[in-house]
C-alpha cells in the first residue's frame, strides 16, 4: 500500500482475487456500469478546488446509456450540473451522473465505510441513482437521496461545520486560560447537550490535513462567487491559523527564551493513525520554533518517511 490506513492492507490482501487494477479505461467500461470517480481535488492558489483530474475523467467518458459517472471526489456545488451540460454538448447525454460524496476519516476509513453515519445520493431519480442506492443498501444506514447540487453542498457544509466546531472550542480554550476555567471540563459539560455532542470539542493547536482547510476555502469562495460574503468561515480560518502560533508564545511564557532549548514534537502527521502530512501543524511549529533558535527533535512512528521530506532540514537532522 502506498499509504498507511489501519486495516486497509489486510482488507486488500483478503479480497485480492476480486480486485483488478489498470491504467486503461476500456476494461472498466466493459465490465462495470457504475464508474466511481475518486480523484484528488486539491486547492488552487486562489483557494478554489482544482478540478483538472475530474475534467480528465469527464473527457475520457464515452457517450454510453449503460454507464453512470458516480462522483466520490469533493467538488464545488454546481460541478455536477456543469458535467451534465458538457455531456450534452458533446453528444454524451446518455451518460448518467450521480453525486455520492465520501465522508471517510483518515485513520478510521475502513470502519467509517462499513458503518457510515449516512449515505448521500444525489441524482435525477433515474436508474443510476437507484443502482447506487441498491449498492449501498447492505450497509443498512440512513440514506439521504436528494438532487445533485444538494448532495455536493452536504459534503462542503459538513466539513465546514466540523472545522467551525474545532475553531470554536479553541477560542473557548483561550478564554478559559484567561479566566481560570478548565476547557476539558467545559467541553465535557457542553458536549453532553445532545444538540451539540462531544465530537470535535477537543481543544488543541487547530485542524490540519487536506480536507477541512480545502473545503472551508472552497465553500467560502463558492459563496463569494455567488455574491455572498461568508463572514463566519473567515473567522474559522483565522482562528485556526493563529492557534498554531499560540503554542510558541505559550512556550516562551513558561520556559523563557527558546534559543538553544531542545523541543520535542511527538506525532507529526495531521492526526493519529495516518502518514498524511498535508496541512500538518507540526510543519508550522517546527519552522516557528527553529526561527526562535530552538533545537527541534521530531518523532512519528507512522509518518516518519513522509515527514522527513517536508520538515525543516535542521529538524530532520535531529530526528
Catalytic residues: 211
Question: What SS3 class is residue 84?
Answer: helix
Among 220, 239, 222, which residue's Cα sits nearest to residue 231?
A: 220
Dihedral in degrees, nearest 10, Cα atoms 132, 104, 21, 57: 70
What cell does 82 get?
A: 456543469
Query: Rounded to a whole number, what is the distance in angstroms from the first to the last CA of the chain?
Result: 25
- Overall residue count recorded for the chain in this entry: 319
User: Which residues, other chains included, contact 43 with Cβ-Cβ below 8 Å and sequence gap of 6+?
Assistant: 49, 50, 213, 214, 217, 218
Q: Tell me how far CA of residue 212 lies from CA of 12, 75, 95, 123, 217, in angstroms.
A: 28, 13, 31, 25, 8
Residue 238 CB contacts under 8 Å (≥ 6 apart), including other chains: none
**What are the angstrom distances between the C-alpha of 6 and each of 31, 107, 110, 112, 150?**
30, 6, 8, 12, 32
Residue 140 grid cell: 443498512
| Contact indicator for 254, 291 with CB cutoff of 8 Å | no
* Strand pairing report for 119-122 and 143-146: parallel
Q: Helix/strand/coil (H, E, C) string of 6-32?
A: CCHHHHHHHCHHHCCCCCCHHHHHHHC
State the DSSP string of 277-292.
-TT-HHHHHHHHHHHT
Residue with cell 521530531: 298
Amino acid at each position: 500500500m502506498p499509504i498507511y490506513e489501519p486495516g486497509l492492507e489486510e482488507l486488500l490482501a483478503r479480497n485480492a482475487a476480486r480486485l483488478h487494477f489498470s491504467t486503461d479505461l476500456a476494461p472498466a467500461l466493459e465490465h462495470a456500469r457504475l464508474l466511481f470517480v475518486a480523484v484528488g481535488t486539491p486547492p488552487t492558489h486562489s483557494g478554489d478546488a482544482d478540478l483538472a483530474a475530474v475534467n480528465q475523467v469527464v473527457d475520457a467518458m464515452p457517450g454510453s446509456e449503460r454507464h453512470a459517472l458516480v462522483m466520490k471526489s469533493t467538488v464545488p456545488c454546481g460541478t455536477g450540473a456543469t458535467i451534465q451540460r458538457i455531456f450534452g454538448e458533446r453528444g454524451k447525454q446518455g451518460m448518467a451522473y450521480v453525486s455520492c460524496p465520501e465522508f471517510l476519516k483518515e485513520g478510521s476509513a475502513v470502519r467509517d465505510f462499513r458503518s457510515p453515519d449516512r449515505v448521500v445520493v444525489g441524482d435525477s431519480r433515474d436508474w443510476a441513482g437507484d443502482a447506487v442506492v441498491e449498492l449501498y443498501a447492505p450497509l443498512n444506514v440512513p440514506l439521504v437521496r436528494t438532487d445533485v447540487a444538494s448532495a455536493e453542498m452536504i459534503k462542503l457544509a459538513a466539513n465546514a461545520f466540523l472545522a467551525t466546531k474545532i475553531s470554536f472550542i479553541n477560542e473557548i480554550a483561550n478564554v478559559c486560560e484567561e479566566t481560570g476555567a478548565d476547557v476539558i471540563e467545559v467541553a465535557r459539560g457542553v458536549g453532553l447537550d445532545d444538540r451539540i455532542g462531544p465530537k470535535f470539542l477537543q481543544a488543541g493547536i487547530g485542524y490540519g490535513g487536506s480536507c477541512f482547510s480545502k473545503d472551508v476555502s472552497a465553500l467560502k469562495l463558492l459563496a463569494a462567487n455567488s455574491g455572498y460574503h461568508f463572514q463566519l468561515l473567515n473567522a474559522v480560518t483565522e482562528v485556526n491559523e493563529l492557534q498554531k502560533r499560540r503554542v510558541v508564545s505559550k512556550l516562551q511564557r513558561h520556559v523563557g527564551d527558546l534559543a538553544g532549548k531542545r523541543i520535542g514534537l511527538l506525532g507529526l502527521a495531521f492526526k493519529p493513525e495516518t502518514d498524511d502530512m498535508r496541512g500538518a501543524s507540526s510543519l508550522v511549529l517546527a519552522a516557528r520554533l527553529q526561527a526562535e533558535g530552538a533545537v527541534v527533535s521530531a518523532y512519528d512512528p507512522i509518518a516518519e518517511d513522509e515527514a522527513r521530506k517536508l520538515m525543516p532540514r535542521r529538524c530532520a537532522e535531529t530526528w
